[in-house]
Structures are given as C-alpha cells and as structure tokens.
Amino acid sequence: MRSIAESTTEVSLPKVRIIEQEDRQAMQLLQAQAQKISELAGQGGSTKSHATSH
C-alpha cells in the first residue's frame, strides 16, 4: 500500500507545480497589462492635469 500512495503523490506533485507556474505566468501577464494601462491612464491624466493647472 505504501508504494501505491508514494506513486500517486509523486504523480500529483508535478501537476501542482506546473499549475503554479502557469498561474505565475498568467499573473505576470496581467500585471504587465495593468502597468501598461496605468501608464497610459497616467499619461492621459497628466495631460489633463497640466491643461487644468494652466
């Protein structure tokens, strides 16, 4: 029975690691997109603030 339990855990662990790697890649992509959007929004906001200040 121990051999079966060990084999199942060995098979399940790599899958979890792969899922974690995919989640990290997805989070990095989302963060990169958010940064681009925030930069574009920041540029738009800065131009508006300059226009209102002047």
Cβ-count burial of 48 within 10 angstroms (0-12 exposed, 13-18 middle, 19+ buried)? exposed
Residue 29 included in any domain: yes
Taking all residues of the chain, what is their mean pLDDT, rounded to a whole number?
A: 77
C-alpha dihedral, 29 to 35 to 36 to 38, nearest 10°: 140
Domain of 29 in residue numbering reads as 24-49
Number of domains within the chain: 1
Residue 41 included in any domain: yes
Residue 14 included in any domain: no
> If the chain, 54 residues long, is cut into consecutive pieces of 10 residues, what is the mean pLDDT of each piece?
60 74 93 94 69 59
How far apart CA 21 and CA 17 sit, in angstroms, is 6
pTM: 0.47
